[in-house]
């Protein structure tokens, strides 16, 4: 269970792309806490300097400000690295519908640059962030790898293309790639601000400020919310995964199912707030229900998440109360 007992060679070097973002900064922190070297690559377009300033005094930490759309920067960032944890991307389904060309550039070309740079530098393992959005309109639950529907957004398409390139780079170039299909990640340092903020931090911030949150749709959509510590475990276990597990994508979730309206009222109760939400229109490209089978990740990469939604939400709430 967890990742506390996962060990690597003493001088192992990890490159975390998008390391100044929510998921990336948590990965940097966990790896540094285990005593290994971390190199962070981020252009700070989405990530925040304050997320990585926490590590500035750690001699095992270094920062490269750079854009994954630049192949030369990617190659330089991979020099002397053992493991690449590629988190850099632009998220948000609705924003991708407004900006498809930009998403193509960053999420597809940028990821391909990182795979190519990893290949050229003989990286041991290339772990990359995929997404539950690749399931599209496939209605069956739980979501299972190999049973995908029609893609519903440019964002989802970029992640699907990343997975196809991952397969090819394993097959053609012997680069061990592992795609992690994250399901609705939440936890400390997730940004509660902006039009495209994730729902949990947004609800918490609005409730703390006595504002009325807007719920898109009827609130009866369900999600497999996944606490950040489970995501760290999956990344580190993928770095230790057997070669025969490479070239594939894996659901990374807890395997639970929470309804948005229930989460809202649970948060309101925990914060002792009586604020009635506003119900707005359903967002374009959104999937109604999301719940993952994690059997494949358990079997092939040893993923065994410790943090249920209930356990994670208490930790997240405490962090936001202290930091908002």
For the chain, give the number of residues: 324
Active site residue 196: no
Q: How far apart are CA 190 and CA 23, in angstroms?
A: 8
Q: How far apart are CA 294 and CA 249, in angstroms?
A: 11
First to last CA, the chain: 31
Tokens describing residue 85: 């944890």
* CA distances (Å), origin 217, targets 88, 274, 278: 29, 21, 10
Query: Which residues are CB-neighbours of 166 under 8 A, at least 6 positions away?
Result: 115, 126, 128, 177, 178, 179, 247, 249
Q: How far apart are CA 8 and CA 269, in angstroms?
A: 43
Strand partners, 11: none
Query: Which residues are CB-neighbours of 196 under 8 A, at least 6 positions away?
Result: 91, 92, 94, 95
Is the previous residue joined to 50 through a cis bond, with omega within 30 degrees of 0?
Answer: no
Given the residues 155, 169, 227, 320, the one annotated as active site = 155
Q: How far apart are CA 84 and CA 16, in angstroms?
A: 6
Q: List the catalytic residues.
A: 155
């Amino acid at each position: 269970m967890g990742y506390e007992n996962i060990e690597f060679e003493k001088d192992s070097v990890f490159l975390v792309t998008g390391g100044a973002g929510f998921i990336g900064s948590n990965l940097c922190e966990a790896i540094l806490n285990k005593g290994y070297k971390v190199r962070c690559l981020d252009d700070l377009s989405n990530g925040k300097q304050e997320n990585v300033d926490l590590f500035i005094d750690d001699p095992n930490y270094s920062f490269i400000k750079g854009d994954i759309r630049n192949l030369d920067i990617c190659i330089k960032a991979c020099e002397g690295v053992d493991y690449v944890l590629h988190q850099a991307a632009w998220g948000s389904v609705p924003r991708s519908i407004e900006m498809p060309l930009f998403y193509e550039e960053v999420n597809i070309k940028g990821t391909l640059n990182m795979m190519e740079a990893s290949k050229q530098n003989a990286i041991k393992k290339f772990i990359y962030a995929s997404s539950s959005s690749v399931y599209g309109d496939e209605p069956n639950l739980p979501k299972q790898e190999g049973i995908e529907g029609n893609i519903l957004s440019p964002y989802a398409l970029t992640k699907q293309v990343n997975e196809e390139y991952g397969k090819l780079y394993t097959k053609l170039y012997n680069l061990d790639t592992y795609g992690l299909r994250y399901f609705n990640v939440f936890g400390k340092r997730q940004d509660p601000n902006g039009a495209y903020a994730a729902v949990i931090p947004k609800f918490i911030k609005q409730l703390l400020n006595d504002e009325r949150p807007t719920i898109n749709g009827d609130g009866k959509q369900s999600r497999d919310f996944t606490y950040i510590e489970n995501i760290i475990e999956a990344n580190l276990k993928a770095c230790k995964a057997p070669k025969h597990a490479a070239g594939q994508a894996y659901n990374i979730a807890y395997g639970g199912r929470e309804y948005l309206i229930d989460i809202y009222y649970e948060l309101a109760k925990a914060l002792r707030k009586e604020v009635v939400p506003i119900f707005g229109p359903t967002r374009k490209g959104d999937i109604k229900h999301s719940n993952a089978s994690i059997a494949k990740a358990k079997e092939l990469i040893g993923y065994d998440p410790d943090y249920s939604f209930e356990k994670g939400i208490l930790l997240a709430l405490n962090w936001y109360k202290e930091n908002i």
